[in-house]
């Protein structure tokens, strides 16, 4: 990795938490220079503009989140275990470096939907990949006989994401983890009673 690549990586790692916490509009150049210890010229010598830094920060945050899920799922052999691994990442998320400032999908998506086309595209792509991943796990469970054939994989994936994100967001806003715990507990019951044979 060359010096320019190392500098871009450093800037991205240092600014990613800022963009997730403060949002695109709320993260100023001063915030970026304070977080990195670099000058404006150093930042914009490595990125074309703030948009490019924000996109790199979102990609970084999503990669870190995906890695947490991958680690949790690695030891799981069943489809229900893999679904619960997604849930566990969020259950522990308020203490996690990636999720402590909120979910990157919700944070970036709520701001970018009307104001930042490229970021909104990235958010929608990330949400689509998450949805496909959950649907594929459910399909796997159906093929292996763990889940009922009648289960609508895409419909359950949508419900699962909505419950995780809703509970997580309410807990983050209120400072009360019970919203998330109740949503995830209910989701676990749904996996046991509606998915499993």
Confidence of residue 113 (pLDDT cuts 50, 70, 90): confident
Q: Does residue 73 have a pLDDT over 80?
A: yes
The residues, ordered by sequence, that sit 6+ positions from 147 with a Cβ below 8 Å of its Cβ are: 79, 80, 138, 141, 195, 196, 197
Q: Does residue 17 have a pLDDT over 90?
A: yes
Domain tally, the chain: 1
Give me the helices (H) in 75-152, please.
Answer: 79-91, 104-115, 117-143
d(CA 79, CA 110): 31
Confidence of residue 116 (pLDDT cuts 50, 70, 90): confident
CATH of the domain at 87: 1.10.357.10
Q: What is residue 22's predicted lDDT score, i.e. its pLDDT?
A: 95
Structural domain of residue 184, as residue ranges? 3-195
d(CA 73, CA 84): 9
147-160 pLDDT, tens digit per residue, is 999 999 999 999 99
Q: Does residue 115 have a pLDDT over 90?
A: no
* Beta partners for residue 196, in sequence order: 147
Confidence of residue 93 (pLDDT cuts 50, 70, 90): confident
The residues, ordered by sequence, that sit 6+ positions from 37 with a Cβ below 8 Å of its Cβ are: none
């Amino acid at each position: 990795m060359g010096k320019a690549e190392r500098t871009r990586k450093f800037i991205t790692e240092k600014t990613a938490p800022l963009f997730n916490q403060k949002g695109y509009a709320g993260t100023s150049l001063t915030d970026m220079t304070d977080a990195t210890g670099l000058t404006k010229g150093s930042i914009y010598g490595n990125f074309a503009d703030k948009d490019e830094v924000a996109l790199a920060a979102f990609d970084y945050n999503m990669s870190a989140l995906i890695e947490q899920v991958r680690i949790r799922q690695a030891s799981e052999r069943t489809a229900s275990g893999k679904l619960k691994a997604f849930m566990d990442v969020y259950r522990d998320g308020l203490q996690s470096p990636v999720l402590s400032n909120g979910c990157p999908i919700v944070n970036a998506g709520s701001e970018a939907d009307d104001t930042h086309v490229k970021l909104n595209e990235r958010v929608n792509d990330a949400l689509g990949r998450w949805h496909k991943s959950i649907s594929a796990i459910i399909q796997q469970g159906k093929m292996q006989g763990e889940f009922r054939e009648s289960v609508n994989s895409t419909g359950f994936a949508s419900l699962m994401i909505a419950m995780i994100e809703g509970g997580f967001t309410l807990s983050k806003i209120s400072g009360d983890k019970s919203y998330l715990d109740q949503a995830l507990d209910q989701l676990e019951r749904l996996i046991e009673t509606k998915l499993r044979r």
